[in-house]
Amino acid sequence: MGALRRHHCLIAAFVLAGLLLVQAEARGVTSAYRRRLEAAEDMPLDADVFAVPPGHNAPQQVHVTLGDQAGTAMTVSWVTVDEVGNSTVMYGRAMGRLDMAAEGTHTRYKYHNYTSGFIHHCTLTSLEHGTKYYYAMGFGHTVRTFWFTTPPKPGPDVPFRMGLIGDLGQTSDSNSTLTHYEATGGDAVLFMGDLSYADKHPLHDNNRWDTWGRFSERSVAYQPWIWVTGNHEVDYAPELGETTPFKPFSHRYPTPHRSSGSPEPYWYSVKLASAHIIILSSYSAFGKYTPQYKWLEAELKRVNRSETPWLIVASHSPWYNSYNFHYMEGEPMRVQFEQWAVDARVDLVFAGHVHAYERSHRVSNIKYNITDGRCKPVRDRRAPVYMTIGDGGNIEGLADSMTEPQPSYSAFREASFGHAVLDIKNRTHAYYAWYRNADGVKVDADTVWFTNRYYMPNHDDSR
Ligand SMILES: *[C@@H]1O[C@H](CO)[C@@H](O)[C@H](O)[C@H]1NC(C)=O
Ligand SMILES: *[C@@H]1O[C@H](CO)[C@@H](O)[C@H](O)[C@H]1NC(C)=O
Ligand SMILES: *[C@@H]1O[C@H](CO)[C@@H](O)[C@H](O)[C@H]1NC(C)=O
Ligand SMILES: *[C@@H]1O[C@H](CO)[C@@H](O)[C@H](O)[C@H]1NC(C)=O
Ligand SMILES: *[C@@H]1O[C@H](CO)[C@@H](O)[C@H](O)[C@H]1NC(C)=O
Ligand SMILES: *[C@@H]1O[C@H](CO)[C@@H](O)[C@H](O)[C@H]1NC(C)=O
Ligand SMILES: [Fe+2]
């Protein structure tokens, strides 16, 4: 009996020592860096970044996104305002040789007393991977020419450099974030939702969707941005007679959801080089038996880590967040999907929503069964790292109030505007860096070497 008790005590002591060790190691960093907190206002309507391109019926707000799951199609969108114009895109491999044509379509919508311009969408198909294409539209009136490079053919060791931006808006901070991203230079952007913040203006002034489209064109016309929808895309306003959720967003920003078998544009997947990226919608139903739940269940089975070793999930509302802003809002989706994410060995989960930056340790919180009290996040090598990158710099300003003390799941947090870049090197290693918009100077404030959860499941990440 005595020996047994001593044995138990010994085990308890070891467990305690282990816990203390984990605790000591778990202490996260709250960056001391503080940005000036000034009022955030949208750039004025006459700002240079909102200038309407010259010429009768000139295409404006040009943007591209992937037109299929694997990167052999690209959807080009633009707006004309003087008249419908021509929905054809001419394209080719040299500026002077646009020898291919694709027919687009156009749409428009009303929002309260706003009527949109003619919104054109045209998908270019059968493209070669990793190839630069020039494209032009506006035939019959003012022709504008742009270019993009299609993503490389998916494969396990294909490197790829991806920008990570969230909650951008259209303030001078937003402009600074975009300028910094242009300097760090990714090949595509994974955008974590909340684009224009038009809904912060009286009557959700949809002219602010147009200004945002013109502002972002300098990047989005030249490389695909992959869209996650945020709460500022919902635009549900019964007081204005507007009861169709996502109306402005869905008319303006198509996504390639059908090519991954999704019935809705708000959740879908794409493959970029060695990454399989799953986009989830925080603002669509995701409970058991819902379309999003069923789609994700099937989608996780379709992921082929031999082809795309990096499994990335993005949604707007973070599952792990230690700021006082939107605290625990992501809990319902975490509870619903975290077990799947751990079982699938998801590498990284990106979110926005909280206007600040945060990176978690690899943690999971999947034991709880109502009666056992096991409801704390614990270190878990099988689990993803959670990143909140909601710090694009919008009209609502920074989230600067944090829960204290810093919880054990939180590895690094800082209330600054910025963006991040994920630099996938091969099937085992990816370099990640977060950049704050520090007074106009590009500084990498948080960097990590991530090791792949499929090919190096027992390795810790390193800084
Ligand atoms: C936005 O940034 C660009 C690039 O740095 C600059 O040329 C432009 O003047 C800025 N506009 C405003 C309104 O801040
Ligand atoms: C919509 O209504 C607002 C408020 O009454 C007004 O300021 C604005 O000019 C109207 N816009 C249009 C296009 O009628
Ligand atoms: C649109 O422009 C293309 C390219 O110039 C041309 O071939 C086509 O006939 C035009 N379509 C219409 C409806 O004008
Ligand atoms: C997974 O990808 C590899 C590499 O591209 C391929 O050889 C294999 O057939 C794929 N497996 C399935 C089930 O599609
Ligand atoms: C909950 O977990 C506790 C502790 O592991 C276990 O005793 C209990 O049976 C579980 N309850 C259910 C309903 O699974
Ligand atoms: C993968 O990339 C990392 C970082 O560049 C490098 O250290 C490692 O050797 C590479 N692995 C292979 C198999 O090339
Ligand atoms: Fe948000």
Mean pLDDT (whole number) for 176-192: 96
- For ligand 3, atom 11, which residue shows the shortest CA distance? 86
How close is the Cα of 86 to the center of ligand 3, in Å?
Answer: 6
Instruction: Decide: 178 in ligand 1 pocket, CB within 6 A.
Output: no
pLDDT for residue 411? 98
Three-class SS string for 58-114? Answer: CCEEEEEEECCCCCCCEEEEEEECCCCCCCEEEEECECCECCEEEECEEECCEECCE
Q: Reply yes or no on whether the pLDDT at 24 is more than 70.
A: no
Q: Is the minimum distance from the CB of 106 to ligand 3 under 6 angstroms? A: no
* Cα gap 225→216, rounded to integer Å: 10
Distance CA(402)–CA(420), nearest Å, equals 21
Active site residues: 326
> What pLDDT does residue 32 have?
75
pLDDT at residue number 282: 98
- Residue 39 has a pLDDT of 56
pLDDT given at position 10: 40
Per-residue confidence band for 7, with pLDDT thresholds at 50, 70 and 90: very low
37 pLDDT band (50/70/90 cuts)? low
pLDDT tens-place string over residues 190-200: 999 999 999 99
Mean pLDDT confidence for 356-362: 98
Q: Which two tokens stand for residue 372?
A: 């056992």
Tell me which of 157, 306, 310 to substitute to probe ligand 4's pocket, judged by most ligand atoms within 8 Å of the beta carbon: 306
Nearest CA to ligand 5 atom 12: 369
pLDDT at 441: 63
Nearest CA to ligand 5 atom 7: 372
Q: How far apart are CA 394 and CA 166, in angstroms?
A: 10
| C-alpha torsion sign, points 455, 306, 127, 118 | negative
Q: Whose CA is nearest to atom 10 of ligand 2?
A: 113
Query: Looking at the predicted structure, is the pLDDT value of residue 209 above 90?
Result: yes
Residue 21 has pLDDT above 80, yes or no: no
According to the model, what pLDDT value does residue 338 have?
A: 98
**C-alpha of residue 198 to centroid of ligand 2, in Å:** 15
CA of 152 to the centre of ligand 4 (A): 17
- For residue 384, pLDDT over 60 is answered with yes
Task: List residues bridging with 89 in a β-sheet.
Answer: 102
pLDDT, residue 438, reads 77
Distance CA 393, CA 70 (A): 31
Ligand nearest to the CA of 431: 6
pLDDT of 356 higher than 50: yes
* Residue pLDDT, tens place only, 92-142: 999 999 999 999 999 999 999 999 999 999 999 999 999 999 999 999 999
pLDDT tens across 327-351, in order?
Answer: 999 999 999 999 999 999 999 999 9
Residue nearest to atom 5 of ligand 5 (CA): 372
Cβ(396)–Cβ(382) below 8 Å: no
Distance (Å) from CA 375 to ligand 5 centroid: 13
Which ligand 1 atom is at minimum distance from the Cα of 49?
A: 11
| Cβ atoms 418, 446 nearer than 8 A | no
- List C-alpha distances in Å: 55 to 58, 82, 207: 5, 10, 20
pLDDT at residue 235 in the model: 98
For ligand 2, which residues put their CB under 6 angstroms from it? 113-114, 203
Name the closest ligand to CA 374.
5
CA distances from 74 to 154, 155, 289, 297 (A): 16, 19, 32, 27
Of 42, 48, 33, 61, which is closest to residue 393 (Cα–Cα)? 42
Average pLDDT across the chain, whole number: 93
What's the mean pLDDT in 219-241?
A: 98
Token pair 């379309």 in the structure block, residue: 291
Over residues 29-34, the mean pLDDT reads 80
Using most ligand atoms within 8 A of CB, pick from 57, 88, 98 the residue to mutate for ligand 3: 88
Q: In this predicted model, what pLDDT tens digit does every residue of 50-101 receive, in sequence order?
A: 999 999 999 999 999 999 999 999 999 999 999 999 999 999 999 999 999 9
- Residue 449's Cβ-side half-sphere holds a number of Cα atoms within 13 Å equal to 10
Mean local confidence (pLDDT), 33-41: 67
**Using CA atoms, how far apart are residues 416 and 35, in angstroms rounded to an integer?**
6
CA-nearest of 410, 405, 450, 424 to 321 is 410
The reply to whether ligand 4 has any atom less than 6 angstroms from the CB of 306 is yes
Give the pLDDT band of residue 439 (cuts 50, 70, 90).
low
The full 3-state SS of the chain, as one line of letters, equals CHHHHHHHHHHHHHHHHHHHHHHHHHCCEECCCCCCCCCCCECCCCCHHHCCCCCCCCCEEEEEEECCCCCCCEEEEEEECCCCCCCEEEEECECCECCEEEECEEECCEECCEECCEEEEEEECCCCCCCEEEEEECCCCCCEEEEEECCCCCCCCCCEEEEEECCCCCEHHHHHHHHHHHHHCCCEEEECCCCCCHHHCHHHCCHHHHHHHHHHHHHHCCCCEEECCCHHHCCCEHHHCECCCCHHHHHHCCCCHHHHCCCCCCCEEEEECCEEEEECCCCCCCCCCCHHHHHHHHHHHHCCCCCCCEEEEECCCCCCCCECCCCCCCHHHHHHHHHHHHHCCCCEEEECCCCCEEEECCEECCCCCCCCCCCCCEECCCCCEEEEECCCCCCCCCCCCECCCCCCCEEEEECCCEEEEEEECCCCEEEEEEEECHHHCCEEEEEEEEECCCCCCCCCCEC
- With a CB cutoff of 8 Å and minimum separation 6, the contacts of 32 are none
Of the candidates 382, 385, 383, 317, the one whose C-alpha atom is nearest the C-alpha of residue 354 is: 317
Is pLDDT of 251 > 60? yes
Residues contacting residue 3 through CB under 8 Å, at least 6 positions apart = none
- State in Å: Cα 150 to ligand 7 middle: 29
Would the CA dihedral through 111, 114, 117, 118 be positive or negative?
Answer: positive
Residues composing the chain: 463
For residue 113, the model assigns a pLDDT of 98
Of all protein residues, whose CA lies closest to atom 12 belonging to ligand 3? 86
**What confidence tier does 31 reach under pLDDT thresholds 50, 70, 90?**
confident
Q: Is the per-residue pLDDT at 449 higher than 80?
A: yes
In a mutational test of the pocket of ligand 5, which residue from 368, 372, 374, 375 has the highest number of ligand atoms less than 8 Å from its CB?
372
Ligand nearest to the CA of 112: 2
Question: Which atom of ligand 2 approaches the CA of 114 most closely?
Answer: 13
- Rounded CA-CA distance 44/40 in Å is 12
Which tokens belong to 145? 């020419």
| Mean pLDDT value across residues 378-391 | 98
